[in-house]
Amino acid sequence: MKKKQAKKTKKKFKSIQNWNAKNTYFIGLFFFVFGILLYANTHKHDYTLDDFSIIKENYVTKQGIAGIPTAWKEHYRFGYWNSTASLYRPLTLTTFNLDWELAPDNPGFAHKVNIFLYGLTGFMLFLSLIQVFRKFNPWIPVLVTGLFMAHPLHVECVANIKGRDEILAFLFLFSSVFTYWKYLDNKKIVWLVLTVIAFTCSLFSKESAITFIAIFPLMLYFFRAETISKTVPGLAFLLIPIIAFLWKRYEVVGSMGVGDPDVLDNALMAATDGLSHFASAVSILGMYLYKMVLPLELVHEKGFAEYVPIGPSHWKFILSFVIYLGLGVFSILQFKRKNLAAFGILFFLLSMSILCNVFVTIGVHYAERLLYYPLLGFCIASVSGLFAIGKSPLTSEGDLKTSFARSRIPILVSLGFIIFFSILTILRNPAWKSSYTLYKTDIEISPNSAKLNYHYGLELVKKGVDNKTNEDRQYLAQARLQFEKALQIRPAYADAHAQLGLAFYRENQKDQAMRSYEKSLSLKPNNAKVYSNMGIIYFESKQLAKAEEVYRKAVKLDPRFVDARRNLGSVLAMQGKFPDAIAQFKEGVKYAPNEAVLHFYLGQATRDGGNQEGAKVHFEKAFALDPSLKR
C-alpha cells in the first residue's frame, strides 16, 4: 500500500516538470535554511525604529496574551499614543503579544521569530512557484526564489522586528496561492477553505495584501490552461475576507485613507501642484528600479530634504516615465502571449499600485520596506529576461540537471547575483543592531534628512543622558548639533524644537529651554511631552500652580502618559491635594503596574492623606518590586 502511495506521489509531481516529492521538499528545505542563515547575525539585535512604539513602549503589547482582544479592537499604535491612526494590523500585533508572553522584553526572541518566519517564507514561496511555473524550466522557480530571498532590500523587514507585518502578509499570500492551485488540481473543498483562511490572515497582517485580488486572476490567466470560467469563480470567496477586513478597518480607524501625512514623512506633501506630485512619485519609482538592480547604499530614511519634489521637466521624471511606459507597453503587447517577463512586470506594477503615491498618497514617499512584496515581480521578470538574453528556452522537459545543460549561462548569472545579494544582505544586517547603529550608519548616506538628523540626535542623548563624564557631555553636544541641523533643514520641525529645549535645560539655560518649548507648541500644540517638560522647569522654580497646569494639559492630551501622571501626582501631593494625587498615581499604575516608584508615591499620598492601613499595601508592593526603596 505504501509503495502504491509513493508511486502516486511521484507521478503527481512528475506532471510538474519532473519535480518529484524528494527533490521538491529537499530544495524547499534548502530555502528555509538559506533564509535563516542570511539573517543569523541579527538574532541578538535590539529594538529599532518602530519596535519601540509597537512593542517595547506599547502597553497593549506588554500585556501579553491579555492584550490580544485590544489588538483586534484598536488601531496599530493604540497602545503607544492616544490619537487616531490609519493602520489596522491585528494579526501582526497578536504575534507581538505572544512574543511578550513567552519572552517579555526580549528582542532577541522576537528577532529569532522573524528569522524563522522568513525561512518559512522561502520554503512556502518555492513550493508555490513550482505549482505556478509547472510548465517552465525547473530552474525558474529555484532562481526566482533564490533572488527574492537573497535580495538586501528585505533587510529592513527581517532585521527590524516590526517588519514582521510584511513577512506575515507575504507568507500567507503565497500559502493561499499554494492551496488554491491544490484546489484547482483536485477540486477538494478543503483546499479552497484553506485558501480563504490564508488570504484572510494576510489581510489582517498588512493591508497592502489587498492588491492580490487583482494578481490572483492574472496568475490564473498566465499559468493555468483551463478557461477563466473554471478557475476564477473560486476566487469569489476571497471577497468575503476583503469585505470583512475593510468593514472592520473602517470601524476601527474611521476612514479608508491615511489622511494628510507630514512633509517630514512624505516629502511629496511639499509639491506645489498635482503635476509636480505626479512627477516626483514617478521619479521615486525610478529610484526603486535602480535599488532593485543595484542595491548599494541602502538607507531606511530618505526624507525631507534628502529628497525634494521635482517638476515634469526634470530628467529623473522623464527617464523614469519612459522606462515605466516601456515596461507597460511591453506587458500589454506580450499579454496574449502570456510572456513570463510581462507577468513579472504586471505583478510589480499591481503590487506597487497602492504604495507608489501616484494613485493614493500614503504616509511615506520612499521606503525600501515597501518593495518587500513587489520585489517578487522584479525577480520573475529579471530571471525571464536573463533566459531571453541567453537565448535559453523558458520551457523545457527534464529535471534540473538536464535543464542546466541547456540553460547554463542564465542560470550561472542568476546564481552569481544570488551570491552577490546574499553578501550585501549579511553586510547590511549589523547596521540594524540598534537604533543608534542604524542612525549612525544611515546619516552618512542621507545627511540632509531632517528626520534622520533628529532621530540620530535622540540616540546620542541616550548615550550621554547621565551627563556626568566628558564622554557624556560630548554625546549631548553632538546631539544638540543634530537637532540644530534638523531645524536648519526644516525650521518648522516641532519635535526638534522640543529636543533643543531639553538640550538647553541640561545646560541650565532654562529661559532658552522655555522659549524652545513654546516654539514647539506653537507648531504642534498637542505635544504632551513638551507640556510635561515645561512642568519640570516650573516645579524646580517652585511655581507649583503653573506646574500643575501644564501637567494637567499633558495628561489630558495623553491619558496614558505615566511620567506626567507621576509628576502631576507629586505636585498635587506637595500642595496637600491628596485625593487628587492618589487618583493620578492610580491612573499611572493602570498603565505601568510594575513601576515601583509609582506604588511608593501612591503609598506616601495615601498615608499623608490619613489612611495608614491602606498605605501599607502600596508600600509592600513597591518594596517587592524594588527593595532599595526601603532605604
- Residue 358 in any domain: the answer is yes
Task: Please give the pLDDT value at position 432.
Answer: 97
Residue holding cell 514617499?
Answer: 365
- Residue 457 in any domain: the answer is no
Q: Give the CA count within 13 Å in the CB-facing half-sphere of 619.
A: 14
User: pLDDT, tens digit, for every residue of 177-230?
Assistant: 999 999 998 889 999 999 999 999 999 999 999 999 999 999 999 998 777 777
Give the total number of structural domains in the chain.
1
- Residue 618 in any domain: the answer is no
- Residue 511 in any domain: the answer is no
Task: Please give the pLDDT value at position 259.
Answer: 61
Contact between 391 and 407 under an 8 Å Cβ cutoff? The reply is no
- Residue 491 in any domain: the answer is no
CA angle 119, 36, 180 (to 5 degrees): 5
The residue type at 571 = V
Domain of 239, in residue numbers:
16-429
The residue type at 399 = D
Contact between 549 and 523 under an 8 Å Cβ cutoff? The reply is no
3-class secondary structure per residue, 112-132: HHHHHHHHHHHHHHHHHHHHH
- Residue 2 in any domain: the answer is no
Task: Please give the pLDDT value at position 15.
Answer: 46
- Residue 565 in any domain: the answer is no
What's the average pLDDT block by block, 10 residues per block, for the chain (631 residues)? 43 51 85 97 94 92 95 90 78 97 96 97 96 91 97 97 96 96 92 96 94 92 80 85 93 73 90 94 96 95 91 96 96 94 96 91 92 96 94 79 86 96 97 96 95 94 85 91 96 95 91 95 94 95 94 92 94 93 92 91 92 90 89 66
Residue holding cell 491602606?
Answer: 614
- Residue 383 in any domain: the answer is yes
CA angle 372, 191, 134 (to 5 degrees): 60
